[in-house]
Structure 1
Amino acid sequence: MRLSMQFWNKGYLSKEQQQPMVPITTLKDRIKGHIDVDTVKSGPSLLFSQEQEALLSQHINAMAELGYGYSRVETINLAPDYAIHLGLRQREKPFSLKWVYNFLQRWPDLKVKKPRSLEAARVKCATRSVIDNNFKELDKIMSQHNFKERPHAIYNIDEKGLSTDHKPPKIVSGSSYKTQAVTSGMSQTITIIGAGNALGQQVPPYFVFPGKRFIDGLLDGASLGATSTMSDSGWSNTYISTSYIKDHLFKYLPHHDEKSPVLVLYDGHRSHISIGLIEWAKENNIILFVLPPHCSHLLQPLDVSCYGPFETAWNSACHRHLRESGGNVITRFDVCKIACKVYAATLTPSNIQVAFRKCGIYPYDPTVVSDSLVAPSLTFAAISSSTISPNSSSITSSEDKENEQPKQSKEKEFLECKGGQILQNVKAAKVRKTLSKVVAGKPITDDGVLQQIKTHIESQSSVETSKI
C-alpha cells in the first residue's frame, strides 16, 4: 500500500497500471489523511494504534510470565483504563467481550489458558541461581563418574499421595441437567513411592498404608515385586525412606562398584536425610543427590512427566471401579490392585525417558529450564517496581533502565503503574537456616556435605536444648 502511494505521488503509475492494483479512492483516502496508511481492513478504525496495542500485548504477556496474569474480565477492565489514560475514550463507554476476542485475533501470541497453580514457596525457591547451581553440581558428579554414558545407573525416587476420594473425570451426559458422579466420600491417604532410571526402567511400587499393623488383603491384586509398609498417617517418614532404599530399591539397582557407582536423585524433604542412610550409601557405592527444595516441578523427573498422567489415570480408574463394583466405595484394600495397574500403564519407558530429558538430567542439558519458567521468582527479589518493562516479556536490569529516556511515554507510565504494584507489595523472602538449604542441589554422600549436615544437626540440637 505504501509503495503504491509513493508511485502514485511521483506519477510512476500509468492509468493501465492503476486499474487492477489498488482502487483510486483507496489511495486518495490515505494520501489526504482520511484513513491511516496502516489500515488494511474495512470498517471502523481501531481505537489503539499498532504501537499502543503492542505495548499492551507485551505487558499482558509479561505479567502472565511473572505469575500474575490478567483474566478476560480484568483485560476488559484494563483496556478502557488504558484508553482513558491516553485520552482516546470516555469512561462512559466500556469495552465488551467482543473487543477482547478481536484483540486476541490480532495478537495470536496471546491465548486464554488455564494456569497451573504455583505455590509461593516454589516461587521463592525456584530462582535462576538455584537452578544453575544444581546443574553445576550435577555436571561435576556426572562427569566424574561417567554417568553421561551410563543412563541405566541414574535413578529418581519420588512419592505420590493417593486419596480414596477421587476427583471424577469428565463424562458424556445429557445437556438438560446438571451432571453428577458418585465418589467414595470419606478419604484415606496412601502413599506410593516410585522410582525409575534414565533408560526408562521402572522399579515396582512401594505402598505406605495408614495404620499400626499390616493387615492381610492390603496387597491383593499387587503387581510382581510390589510391597508395602505401615505408618500412623499413611505418609512416609525417615525410617520408611531409609527402609525403601535399603530393602526395596537396592534389589533393582544394576551392578555397581567403587569405579561405577549408582546415582540416586530425590527431593530434600527432612525425612529423606539420615546420617545412617548416607553412611550406608557410601559403603555400597551409591551417590545420593538431593534436589533443591520446592523445585520438583522443574527438576524432579517423575513429578514433571509421570505423576501427572498417573493422577489422571488414577481418577479414571477409581471412577470405573465404582461403576463396575456396583457402587462399593473404595477403601485401602482396593488401592493396591487399582494403583498397580495405573502405575504400570503410566510409568512407561517412553514417559520415564521423556521425564529425564525434560529435567535436563539425561541427556544432560542445563538449558531446559528457561528464564520464563523461573520468572515468577523475580517478584520476590529485592528489586524495585521499575524493573518490570511493559514493552518486553523479560525483566530488565537497572543498568538498562538508566540507559532509557528519562521521560516515560504515557503508555509505559500507565502499564508500569498497573503491573509494578506486585513488586512493591511483595517483600523479599526471609532466608531460613533449614536442613534443605544445606543439602539443596548437592551429593549428600560427599564427605564435605556430610560434615555440613552433621554440623547443622548438632547446632539445631543445641538450639532446642537452650530453649528448654
Structure 2
Amino acid sequence: MKLSKPEEDALCRYIDRLDAMNLAVRKEFIVEAANLILQERSSKAIQSNPPTVGIHWIDRFVKRRKYRLMSQKQLDSNRQVAEDIPTVIEWYKKLHDIIQSEGIVADDIWNMDETGFRIGVGKDQLVVTKRKKAHYFGTPGNRESATAIECISAGGRVLPAFLVLCGIHHQARWYEVMKDHPDVRIAMSPTGYSNDEICFEWIYHFDEHSKKTTKGTKRLLLLDGFGSHHTYPFIQYCDRHGIIPFSLPPHLTHLLQPLDVVVFQPLKHYHVKAVDLVVRDGCIDITKLEFLGFIQDVRKQAFRQSTILSSFRKTGIVPLNREVVLAVMRARKPRTPTPEPAFSSPFSTPVTLRQMHRAATQLEDQFTMAEECNDGSMLLQKDFLASMGQFIRGAISNSTELIQTKKDLSRTQLAEKTRRQRRAMKNTSLQSGGVLTVAQGRQMAARKADIELRKAQRKVEVTQTRYDNALKKWYLEAAKKARSMRIAGQMGEMLVYSEKGGCRALRRVGR
C-alpha cells in the first residue's frame, strides 16, 4: 500500500527533524513510521491486520526523495593480517585429523570468543540524511567497557551469556533486571576485560551447559591464542572433562573463526540499535542497568540458529571445506565508493500554523468571490481548486506528522517509566569480585533482603517490649497513687461495672 504525497511530505519532515537533532535515522525506523501512518488511516475493521508498505518501498522512497545512505563516521582501516594460504591449508589438515582421530561429532564442535562493548557507545551505521558531510550521532558519554564471552556450536546452539562488567561489587539490581535468565553468569573485573581467573570460571560454565547436549564422547572447542585460554588449570580442566581445545592460527580469526566471521557483526549491529533506541527514548545516561536490560534481546536477535549454522559453513568447518576460505583469500579486492545523489528541493505545501491560517483565509476569500461572481470565471475556479488542494494537503501533512510525534512521546514516557522502576530498586552490594549466575545473584539478594527483614522485625519486637513494659509500669504507678488517695480519703469509692450492667465496689487498688 502507498502513502499519499502529503503523508510522504510529513514523513520527510519527521526524518529531517530527527536528522537535525543528530538522531540517526535508519531504514527500519522509516518503514515503521510509514506503517504507522497506514495503520492510523485504515478503518477499524482492518486494524487487526493493518496494511504495510512493500518490501522495496524504502529503497524507492530514499531514491525518490533524494536522500542518501551515509556512514555516521569513516570506517576503521582493515586489520593488518598475515593471510598465509599454506598456514590455512595446514590448519585445516590438523582440524581434519583431530576430528577423525577423536571421533568428534559435528554437533560437538564449539567455538568460543570474547567481544567487547562500550556500554553507552555504538559503532558506525548507515543513516538516512540529506547532509553531504559525515553524520555524527550524539550518544551518552559512558565508554565503560564490558565483555561478553560467547560460545556457539556447529549444531546451531548458543550457551547462556557470560558477561564481564567493570567494577568490584555485584549489585542486587542487576540480578532483578536479569531475573528471566537464571543461567546467565556475571563476572566482575576492574577493567571490564577477562583474565585467567574469569576464563577458568568460563570453562566450568561451558562444561556445565554443553555437556547437556553432547552426542559423542568428546567436545572440540575452537578458540584463539589468548593467553588465558592456555593456562595450566584451563588445559587440565579440559583434559579431565572430555574437552579438546583447538587453537586458531594467529591473525587469521577474521577468516577462520565462526563468531568473528558471521555472528559478532549482527551482535554489534543490534547493540547499536538498542543504544540508539534508548537514546531516542530520552535516556541521557546509559549505565550497566540499561545495558543488562537490553543485552538479552540483542543476543536473541543475533544468535539465530540459521546465523550460527551459516557461520560454521562460511568458515569451512562444518561441513569441512577449506576452499570456502581459500577462495575468499584469493578474491579480496578493494571496493569502489558509490557516487552521491543530488540534493532535493524544498517543500511548497504549508507546514507552519501561520501558513495554514494564511491558506485558510485565502480559501475563504476565494470562496466568497466565487459566490459573488456571476460570469463563472474558469480562472477563479482554478485558483479556488488550487488553494483548496493546497490547504487539504497541508492539513493532512500536519496531522500525519502529529502521529509520529505522539508515537515518539508515548515511547519516551514508557521508557522513562521503566528506567525509574529499575533505578528505584534497592541497590544492595552482594559480593566483591568473583562470578555469579543470575540465579545465584537473586538468591543472595533474597537472603540479604530476608536478613534485613529479620533485623527490622527484631527492632519492632524490642520497641514493642519496651512499650509494653512502660505501659505496665504506668498502670502500677497509677494504682499505687489511687490506693494512697483512697486511704487518705481524697478519693471516693471506686466501682467496677460488668458487661451485664451490674456494678460492685472495688475493695483493693494495687498491691
TM-score (ref. length: structure 1): 0.51
Secondary structure at 1:365's aligned position in 2?
Answer: coil
Partner of 2:222: 265
| Shift in Å, 1:246 | 1.0
1:376-405 deviations in whole A, cap 9, x for unaligned?
8xxxxxxxxxxxxxxxxxxxxxxxxxxxxx
What pairs with 1:219-258 in structure 2 (closer than 5 Å)?
A: 219-222=175-178, 224=181, 225-254=183-212
Aligned length: 256
Matched, 1:337 2:293: yes
Partner of 1:152: 107
Q: 2:132 and 2:89 mapped to 1: Cα distance?
A: 54
| Shift in Å, 1:171 | 3.8
Secondary structure at 2:138's aligned position in 1?
Answer: coil
Partner of 1:136: 93
| Shift in Å, 1:132 | 1.1
Cα pair 1:219 1:337 within 8 Å, conserved: no
Counterparts in 2 of 1:293 and 1:177: CA distance versus 1, 3 Å: closer
Amino acid at match of 1:359: T
Matched, 1:276 2:233: yes
Cα pair 2:112 2:152 within 8 Å, conserved: yes
Cα pair 2:222 2:248 within 8 Å, conserved: yes
Cα pair 2:154 2:312 within 8 Å, conserved: yes
1:144-185 deviations in whole A, cap 9, x for unaligned?
2333xx222111111110112223644445669986633012
Q: 2:153 and 2:134 mapped to 1: Cα distance?
A: 45
Q: 1:215 and 1:146 mapped to 2: Cα distance?
A: 44
Q: Which structure would you say has the larger Rg?
A: 2
RMSD over equivalenced CA pairs, Å: 2.6
Partner of 2:273: 316
Q: 1:230 and 1:191 mapped to 2: Cα distance?
A: 10
Cα pair 2:121 2:272 within 8 Å, conserved: no
Return the structure number with greater helix share.
2
Cα pair 2:85 2:326 within 8 Å, conserved: no
What pairs with 1:415-454 in structure 2 (closer than 5 Å)?
A: none
TM-score (ref. length: structure 2): 0.47
Counterparts in 2 of 1:231 and 1:318: CA distance versus 1, 3 Å: same
Q: 1:358 and 1:212 mapped to 2: Cα distance?
A: 39
Q: 1:238 and 1:260 mapped to 2: Cα distance?
A: 27
Q: 2:85 and 2:240 mapped to 1: Cα distance?
A: 34
Cα pair 2:163 2:187 within 8 Å, conserved: yes
Partner of 2:302: 346
Cα pair 2:223 2:247 within 8 Å, conserved: yes
Amino acid at match of 2:109: I
Counterparts in 2 of 1:183 and 1:138: CA distance versus 1, 3 Å: same
Q: 1:346 and 1:159 mapped to 2: Cα distance?
A: 15
| Shift in Å, 1:329 | 1.9
Cα pair 1:309 1:346 within 8 Å, conserved: yes
What pairs with 1:360-371 in structure 2 (closer than 5 Å)?
A: 360-370=316-326
Counterparts in 2 of 1:256 and 1:175: CA distance versus 1, 3 Å: closer
Partner of 1:188: 144
Amino acid at match of 1:158: D
Counterparts in 2 of 1:256 and 1:343: CA distance versus 1, 3 Å: closer
Partner of 1:442: none
1:242-274 deviations in whole A, cap 9, x for unaligned?
1101135532334659x7211111111112111
1:97-138 deviations in whole A, cap 9, x for unaligned?
xxxxxxxxxxxxxxxxx9984322x2x3x3112111111110
